[in-house]
Structure 1
Amino acid sequence: MDRWRPAKTLCSLTLCSRHLHALFQPLLLYHITPDWSIHIIHLIIRLWRHPELARQVRHLVTSRLDCNGGPCKGLGEDKTRGDEVVEFIDNALDELFEPEEEDTRTKWRQHLLIPCKEAWLGLLLVRTTHLKTIEFSHGSTGLMSDILRKAARRQRPFHRAPPFPHLQAVFVSSQTADTRVDPAFLQPFFYFPAVRKINGGPMGESDRDGTETWSQDIRHCSRSVREFTIRPSWWCHSILDWLAASPALEHVALVFRLHPDEGHLPDKRKFHAPEFRHALLPFTRTLRTLHLQVEVPFAEDWRSVTNDTRPFGCLREFAVLEVLRIRWVHLLQAPPTARVLRFRAKETQSLVEILPASLRRLDVLEIEEHNWIDVLLQLSRLVQHQASFPRLERVGVHVRLLCLFSEQAG
């Protein structure tokens, strides 16, 4: 039976007989994409009361999380005022919060009674302990973040066992152009025991100053993330925290976008290639792919995305790096155009000197036309030293107003 079959059909089949109920109910719960209605609230209450059913949920996709202080669309205020629902809310909050968290508990109770979609989906997340993947359409008011931080810190109700021991992949997106995912929302997943992949965007933090560095008080060592992809993103210092929380990182992909206040942004809030390279040094024996690029290359103000023309530095020590996709300005420091051409070969660092022998594919991005001669010289050296790169199969170069590709047999 296809698990994507409409839920109404599966639900009808489960009512036909006990045998069909036992057969099809796991399929009905395997993949949940909640449509916001009173039925979802009753489902969440049922899953709370029957943990064996909640453990059957493997994939959860949440619609946009939002709360405007009133009843969420699709429900009236009176729908959650029944004594049974109020009693359930109080019992659930007793399980979620310690006595000293009374203020947070009061906030949650108010949101659950409204009813607020994010608060109820937060309750659902607590019970679906056997999730393998989760997808958020982000617009959080902070309620879901309360749950995620508790899980990362192993606080009640996650104090008895590691949280979400089967969760492997997390996807977060923002559906509107004027909203973004705060990196603090993603950070807890770097401390769950089985998460391997995090994919999100657009992402950006509004203000690093004064932000609680809550991850510093996490003492456990279940840091399992192997891959994260953020596209697009403003440069966030939190990314360095993510690197520190991922000791066996294999894949990193960052696509930067221009910050709306770029002209007034302090340098500490901008990307610096040497600093980022230093943060990657713990992964010289694990990092296999590295993508660093700009969302809209060659825009008139594209340089201000990083405000940094210093090269990334030598990559030879990254012994298993196979795929490198990087801006030319961060790969090599191009010599001034006024220099005599015959001296360039002697004064410019060579790709042969900085690339690892493990490389299979190289994409050089955002090459301006006045640097094209330098690029050709570098590529010719790469061909001459082909024996030093026995696995290299493809080199791509992306030039402004021109896109050329050359292929090299390994």
Structure 2
Amino acid sequence: MESLSVELLLLIAEHVQVDQRDYFRMLRVCRRWHAILSPKAYNRISLTHDQIQPLVRCIHNNPKLNIGAAIRDLDVWWAGGSDDECDVELVNDAASRACDTPADRKRLGQGLREGNPDAWFAILIQSLEAITSLTIQYFHSEYSLPMLGRVANLDPPFNTVPALQHLERVTVRTEDLKTAYETADFLQLFRLPAMRMLEANGLYEADDVDEIYPKPGPGTSGIKEIDLEGNGSKGMADYITSCANLEVFNYQHDNKAVWGELYLTFQPGAFYAALVTQKHSLRKLWLSDGGETDAEDCDDYDEEGNVHFNRFGSLTEFCQLQELSIPVRTLLEFGHGDTPRVSLPDILPESLEYLFLFDYLDEDFEVVSANLKRVVEQRTKRFPNLTKLYLQPSKLEKITLTHHWKFEIYASVQQAFAPLMEICNRSGIDFRLRKVAWAEDDDEDEDCL
């Protein structure tokens, strides 16, 4: 085995490797294998909260292996708790290198000595020189998020030993319904030079934000895709407007901002005002109001109490927009009444290929059907790229079977839209009624028509 070339050894390892543990077993074969395979073994790391400190210790005690620089894809999950073990020498060294003021060193050192996994993750961040993908799933962060701001701001020591400069994709997850993160916590990601995609849930926009670090300037971020679930009462404007050429924006609204304290309804006008800054580049726009907001809840009031409908706005100038998924009444701006304020042919861009309207109500049938018919009739001249037109009703029929139940679209709805489907078929447009509003793949939803 000693005679095997480096290339052949790596090729063998690539084929026999089943999971990450197999790589680490191979590292124990001999020193030569350890030196050759270490970068491969640490390329993709998945950690629980109690494994963060051991990884930091491993990086610290083996500087020649340059383990931190080998990590490209990191997935970190924890549910709180702490690690009771403490390496005093490592704590003092880590806190000293991470902070440039005595107060910060004392605070971080205390967290490290207490075994706080978030404090140790803040130390781990400093070693991630070449990471490209980061997934973090946890409940509370008082150390690593401020550290993220210091990294993005190139505060010492990151002005000479930069970290996260190759980070392209970040996924932030929380599976606790009571957890909410302020959007400002992750705004510094938009200042990292290689960032291209942010996916997060449980976010909300706070009114009062303590801005320790400057916001990214308008049009300065290279992020091209944003996928969010949460409460964007201000239209996620700080995120959107900081992008130079945003291509994909997915947003699912939840009325909950802070559990038991703050509930805010969907504000389409705020999103439109921010998205207009990306009309030159946006290709895909998916907006969903999961809060089931009534129209009157989306109104603005002036100082005299007069109501002004929170309008979404025309998309005709969004010259690159190909996919649009949005609630019917948001796009057509119904407001309080049953009559839309706009017509679909007048507000849709000519570049559109796929239109998905959902939360259609039974009483909206005549309006929706007439609008869609006009779009199809103008396909040749106005919408030459349109190939898919999907519609999802708000109400489904619950059918009880022997051991389970399922939902179907009412037969009356299918019958009512049959003439429109015939017109679409003649025009070369795929028309469907769908049961799931947020399904991108046909396998996720059984189409009824």
Q: TM-score range by the shorter chain?
A: 0.7 to 0.9
**What is the aligned partner in structure 2 of residue 208 from structure 1?**
207
Q: 1:26 to 1:302 in 2, by over 3 A?
A: farther
Letter of the 1:281 partner, please give it.
V
Q: Which has the higher contact order (CA 8 A, sep 6+)?
A: 1
3-state DSSP of counterpart to 1:292? strand
Matched residue SS, 2:250: strand
- Cα gap change, 1:137/1:247 in structure 2, threshold over 3 Å: closer, same or farther? same
Structural mapping, 1:50-69, within 5 Å: 50=63, 52-64=66-78, 66=80
Structure 1: stretches of 5+ with no match in the other structure: 339-343
Matches within 5 A, 1:89-108: 89-99=91-101, 102-108=102-108
CA distance in 1, matches of 2:341, 2:95: 64
**Larger deviation, residues 155-164 vs 89-98:** 155-164
Structure 1 counterpart of 2:443: none
Regions of 4+ moved over 6 Å: 260-266, 335-338
Q: Which residue of 2 aligns with 1:317?
A: 317
Could you give the per-residue CA deviations for residues 37-70 of structure 1, whole angstroms, max 9, x where no partner exists? 4x65343133245272211111111112635xxx
Deviates more, 1:88-97 or 1:250-259: 88-97
Deviation digits for residues 201-233 of structure 1 (CA, Å, limit 9, x no counterpart): 12224x422x123453657986111111112x1
Structure with higher strand content: 2
**Do the aligned residues in 2 keep the contact of 1:323 with 1:362 (CA within 8 Å)?**
yes
Q: For residue 258 of structure 1, what is the aligned residue in structure 2?
A: 255
CA distance in 1, matches of 2:299, 2:113: 48
Q: Is the 8 A contact 1:47 1:54 kept in 2?
A: yes
Partner of 2:131: 131
Looking at structure 2, the residues matched to 280 and 330 of structure 1 have their Cα atoms a distance apart, in angstroms, of: 15
Q: Secondary structure at the match of 1:224?
A: coil
Contact 2:247 2:282 in 1 (8 A): yes
Paired position in structure 2 for 1:353:
346
Which residue number corresponds to residue 42 of structure 2?
Answer: 29
1:134-184 residue CA offsets vs partner (Å, 9 max, x unmatched)? 001021231111111111212122223664222111001112222123322
Task: Tell me whether 1:43 sits opposite 2:62 in the alignment.
Answer: no
Offset of residue 296 of structure 1:
5.7
Task: State the SS of the aligned residue for 1:398.
Answer: strand
Q: Distance in 2 between matches of 1:359 and 1:108?
A: 51
Using the TM superposition, give the Cα deviation of residue 264 of structure 1 relative to its aligned residue in structure 2, in angstroms: 8.9
Quickly say closer, same or farther: Cα 1:336–1:11, change in 2 above 3 A: closer
Q: For each residue in 1:71-113, what CA deviation from the matched residue of structure 2 results, as whole angstroms up to 9, or x when unmatched?
A: x1xx43xx21xxxx322222222221113xx322211101101
**Residue 145 and residue 305 in structure 1: after superposition, are their counterparts in 2 closer, same or farther (change >3 A)?**
farther
| Cα-to-partner distance string for 1:361-393 (whole Å, 9 max, x where unaligned) | 111121221111000110111111111101001
Q: Match of 2:283?
A: 288
Aligned residues: 380
Deviation at 1:260, TM superposition (A): 6.8
Give 2:329's aligned amino acid.
V
- Tell me how far apart the structure 1 counterparts of residues 260 and 32 of structure 2 sit (CA, whole Å): 66
- Paired amino acid for 2:389: V
**Secondary structure at 2:274's aligned position in 1?**
helix
Where do residues 2-401 of structure 1 align in structure 2 (5 Å cutoff)?
5-37=18-50, 40-48=52-60, 50=63, 52-64=66-78, 66=80, 72=82, 75-76=83-84, 79-80=85-86, 85-99=87-101, 102-160=102-160, 163-205=163-205, 207-209=206-208, 211-216=209-214, 223-231=221-229, 233-237=230-234, 239-259=236-256, 270-295=265-290, 297=292, 303=295, 306=298, 310-334=310-334, 349-387=342-380, 388-401=382-395
User: Aligned-pair distance for 1:3?
Assistant: 9.5
Q: 1:34 offset after TM fit, Å?
A: 2.1
8 A Cα contact 1:289 1:321, kept in partner = yes
Deviation at 1:35, TM superposition (A): 3.7
Amino acid at match of 1:33: S
Return the TM-score normalized by structure 2: 0.76
Segments of 5+ residues of structure 2 without an aligned counterpart are: 1-13, 301-308, 397-408, 430-449
Taking the aligned partners of 2:220 and 2:319, their CA distance within structure 1 comes to 25
Secondary structure of the corresponding residue to residue 386 of structure 1: coil
Shift of 1:334: 3.4
| 1:311–1:332 contact (8 Å) kept in structure 2 | no
Identity %: 20
Q: Residue type matched to 1:55 in 2?
A: A
Deviates more, 1:372-381 or 1:348-357: 348-357
Distance 1:178 1:287 in 2: 32
Aligned residue type for 2:351 = S
Following the alignment from structure 2 to structure 1, what is the Cα–Cα distance between the partners of residues 17 and 37? 12
What residue identity is the alignment partner of 1:398? Q
State the alpha-carbon separation in 2 of the partners of residues 281 and 223 from structure 1.
Answer: 16
> Contact (CA 8 Å) 1:253, 1:292: kept in 2 or not?
yes
Q: 1:44 & 1:55 partners in 2: Cα distance?
A: 13
The letter for the 2-side match of 1:390 is P
Deviation at 1:303, TM superposition (A): 4.8
Classify 1:15/1:335 alpha carbon distance in 2 versus 1 (closer, same or farther; 3 Å): closer
SS of alignment partner, residue 357 of structure 2: strand
Answer whether contact 1:334 1:374 (CA < 8 A) is retained.
no
In 2, the alpha carbon distance for the partners of 1:237 and 1:18 equals 56
Report the residue type matching 1:216 in the other structure.
Answer: P
The 1:348/1:175 distance shift into structure 2, 3 A limit, reads: closer
Matched residue, 1:341: none
Return the alpha-carbon distance in structure 2 between the equivalents of residues 200 and 249 of structure 1: 16
Q: Which segment is superposed worse, 235-244 or 396-405?
A: 396-405
Q: Hey, what's the Cα distance between the residues in 2 that align with 1:333 and 1:219?
A: 32
Answer whether contact 1:131 1:164 (CA < 8 A) is retained: yes
Deviation of the 1:357 alpha carbon: 0.4
Q: Distance in 2 between matches of 1:276 and 1:263?
A: 25
Give the TM-score normalised by the residue count of structure 1. Answer: 0.83
The answer as to whether partners of 2:49 and 2:78 remain within 8 angstroms in 1 is no
Q: Secondary structure at the match of 2:70?
A: coil
Contact 2:136 2:171 in 1 (8 A): yes
